[in-house]
Structures are given as structure tokens and as C-alpha cells.
Amino acid sequence: MTESGHSLPVPPLARLAGVIGRRERFRGDSAALDAGERAALARLDPESPRPHQVGALARALVLSDIATDEWQPETWQRWALIANGIALAGHDPNQRLGAQLARADVSESRVTRLLTARGDAFRQQIPRVLRLMASRSVAPNWQELGALILATDHDEERAETQRLRIAGHYYTAVAR
């Protein structure tokens, strides 16, 4: 809450993480994804989604109040990669992504590959890093990783700012 008593708006990536992470409170809860939809997102291949996976992604985006009306196919692919990652690895907004990578013992060479890759190579690095983090029970901060995914190959200035921020937090955490 702010001093005026109004809540600050929740960013889209945080809303999506909340929707994917929320469990049904009762059978047929229309404000949450069901187990099948969450499973579809976890199995989602952003490069070639199956119809039920597209349906689960669309429902998650609608529940997150993310407007998709004018999206191009590449935008859908970016959000599919994000939704798949959240479903697989969870979301932890309480720590910086760079520090989370260090805590998960992600090697410097893998972090470098992630932060220097572009295009298809970048999209291939994301699931690898997420599987490694999940295997070590470290959930990523999707505010930061999602922002990098949305900006890479689209808004390079913003993407580079994200990369530098992630690298800075990674090396700070490794040095401790």
C-alpha cells in the first residue's frame, strides 16, 4: 500500500507468475489454472506449441490481465517461453536473478553463454539454465529473467541493461 492507501500496480510478469503458481481453491475455480493447464504449460514447447498448450497459455495470460490482441507470433513465443519457465522452475521475487544463479552454482561459463547469446541460441539457453536451477531447488526471479526474454532481439538497449544488472549481481554473489 502507498501512503494514499492505494496498492501499487502488479507488473505483468509477476501477475503471470502468480496465476501459474496459484492452485485451485475448489474444483472448477475459474480464477486459477487447473492441474492439466499447469501441466500443459510445463510441457509447452514455445517453438511449436500443441493446441491444448496454446489454450493453457492463453488462459494464463487472460487470468493475468495481459492483453494479447495485437501480438505477433514472436511475442507469443516469448511469453510461451516465460510461462513454460515459470511452470517448470517457479518464481522467487525476493532475490536478484544473478544472486540466484550463483546460489544454484551455475557456472560462470554458462552464465556468460546465457548473457551473450542472441536469437535461437538465447532461447535454447533458457531451458538449460532453468533445469539446472530447478535441480538445485532455486527458483528464478521472473521479473528480471522475463524482462530479459522480452527485450532480447527486440529492444537491445533494454536487454543490455538487464544483462549487465544480472551479471553484476552474479559476480557480487560469487565473490562473497
User: In this predicted structure, what is the pLDDT of residue 82?
Assistant: 98
Cell numbers at 55, concatenated: 489454450
The tens digit of pLDDT for each residue in 21-55 reads 988 788 877 878 999 999 999 999 999 999 999 99
**DSSP character for 32?**
S
Judge whether residue 169 has pLDDT over 80: yes
What per-residue confidence (pLDDT) applies to 2? 46
- Supply the pLDDT for residue 32: 86
Average pLDDT, the chain: 93
Cell triple for residue 88?
A: 517448470
In 3-state terms, what secondary structure has residue 159? Answer: helix
Confidence of residue 1 (pLDDT cuts 50, 70, 90): very low
Sign (positive or negative) of CA dihedral 8, 81, 90, 68: positive
Amino acid (1-letter code) at residue 137: S
Q: What is the pLDDT of residues 118-131, one digit of tens each?
A: 999 999 999 999 99
Percentage of the chain with pLDDT > 70?
Answer: 97
| Distance, CA of 88 to CA of 134 (rounded, Å) | 8
User: What is the maximum alpha-carbon separation in the chain?
Assistant: 49
Please state, in angstroms and rounded to a whole number, the distance separating the CA atoms of residues 174 and 160: 21
**Structure-block grid coordinates of residue 176:** 562473497
71-109 tens-digit pLDDT: 899 999 999 999 999 999 999 999 999 999 999 999 999
CA distances from 21 to 11, 18, 37, 88, 167 (A): 15, 5, 11, 10, 27
DSSP assignment letter at 166: H
Please give the average per-residue pLDDT across 58-77, as a whole number. Answer: 92
Confidence of residue 4 (pLDDT cuts 50, 70, 90): low
| pLDDT surpasses 70 at 167 | yes
**What pLDDT band is residue 5 in, cutting at 50, 70 and 90?**
low
